[in-house]
Structure 1
């Protein structure tokens, strides 16, 4: 039985995190007197910090660079965490931490919110830590082929292996290759502020909806290129919002599948907390 009331987001850096605002808004609506804070924790100190938590703790949100460390520490993983090897949510139960990946569900929800329910062909820009979650999200939306565009195509080798497990044909390429065919959705997992210059133009013209996981500074150079080409571009705020809803579900019920009491009102309050609308 879960009795703890303390929660936090851990990462390095973490001062920019909007998670405390999101979670505080949710727990106000739910009438839960829970504490949600932020703490700067790096990879080297993660294991000791986790071991030092007392039974007043209920769960943790994990951001970079802790998602793989959290997966290694978890005694169980949900399917999305197992596939990606990345955990952004730990439920601190009596029998040990249980790991979840809510980034995948956050991406799926924000893409569907844009009116896209099926993605026959998708594209991922960048092969870093978030690319695995992006690939699983595209697979859940029906993609059977996904191109991964990276400065070093060999960096996409783990994604090729993940694609085989998902039944998705993953094609690595660099930015010099002309994009084909047209993508329904492009997910950019590049670091914030990355400017691809003219090499982004053909991808913008044939990229469909752009979901740029960056949300701290908007528009990004990539989003500007997309919109100049007449395309749609959305920031990572939608992903952040929807993955946080799934985290709240985990902290309340232990499952991403069980909807919250009056979840539409919870979602509205969380959206207002970070988007102001």
Structure 2
């Protein structure tokens, strides 16, 4: 039986999720569909109310990851810990909220590097930064610095990440006071146009850069990578989508087919 899935957010036009999931369905011969839907902040309740029994799952981008939490019937432990759900699974009339950014980030990092990670900086303080912080804590990072424009923007992320069962040490710093980072990994969750030369210089000695943005590409941080390790936003998108695919379909995600389709779409969008 054909089922429907989709990705919601605002803006949503740039999303590669339809490409990835559709390629996965084609590879496995599934008669499923997946499309992007623009849903602004405050619109998730009405959108959910409009769906029928054909629907199996939703992927959520900002600003809906936080909005989904009180609207579902059940949260997985990782979604509860993050306080954010980027995935909704429809299961016999019940809505289950999950957070695939956390396992997706872990898989993305470990695909690119097996180096031990003890210290990290996360630039930005939103829901994605929180999920990345929890993923890093799962990987054994015990010293995490949240770098934001204003300290109050990072307070909730700091508290949530410290609440991980490993209880990493988490501090908050101001972005305009950054000099140079001496850590194992820097993860940036801020837009490309917010990455100035000062920030790029501060990251120049960091061996692994996790650039969450995948459009536009390359970002200033990605362009400066040289021979260091780069974990890209596409890596994260692919691996979290693979977890979603398996939650929705019950099938093992055809990662190679999904990756190839995504890379082709990225190359086409950049004109290369």
- When normalised by structure 2's length, the TM-score is 0.90
Number of the residue aligned with 1:187: 187
SS in 1 for 2:8: strand
What is the Cα deviation at residue 99 of structure 1? 0.5
Number of the residue aligned with 2:256: 268
What is the Cα deviation at residue 117 of structure 1? 5.3
SS in 1 for 2:172: strand
Say if 1:192 and 1:198 are closer, same or farther in 2 by CA, change over 3 A. Answer: closer
| More off after superposition, 54-63 vs 154-163 | 154-163
Number of the residue aligned with 2:270: none
Counting only pairs closer than 5 Å after superposition, residues 23-172 of structure 1 correspond to structure 2 as 23-116=21-114, 118-166=116-164, 167-172=167-172
Pick from 224, 227, 232: which aligns with 2:229? 232
- When normalised by structure 1's length, the TM-score is 0.88
What is the Cα deviation at residue 69 of structure 1? 1.2
Superposed CA deviations along residues 121-159 of structure 1, whole A, max 9, x for unmatched, are 111011123110110010011011101111212321112
Number of the residue aligned with 1:218: 217
| More off after superposition, 25-34 vs 133-142 | 25-34
Pick from 7, 10, 24: which aligns with 1:9? 7
SS in 2 for 1:155: helix
Report if aligned partners of 1:9, 1:39 keep a CA contact under 8 Å in 2.
yes
How large is the RMSD of aligned CA atoms in angstroms? 1.9
Report if aligned partners of 1:25, 1:270 keep a CA contact under 8 Å in 2.
yes
Instruction: Name the CA distance, whole Å, in 2 between partners of 1:226 and 1:32.
Output: 39
Report if aligned partners of 2:113, 2:229 keep a CA contact under 8 Å in 1.
no
Say if 1:25 and 1:4 are closer, same or farther in 2 by CA, change over 3 A. Answer: closer
SS in 2 for 1:186: strand
Instruction: Name the CA distance, whole Å, in 1 between partners of 2:115 and 2:94.
Output: 36
Say if 1:105 and 1:65 are closer, same or farther in 2 by CA, change over 3 A. Answer: same
Instruction: Name the CA distance, whole Å, in 2 between partners of 1:193 and 1:218.
Output: 11
Which ranges of structure 1 fall in alignment gaps of 5 or more residues? 254-259
Report if aligned partners of 1:132, 1:159 keep a CA contact under 8 Å in 2.
yes
Say if 1:4 and 1:68 are closer, same or farther in 2 by CA, change over 3 A. Answer: farther
SS in 2 for 1:204: coil
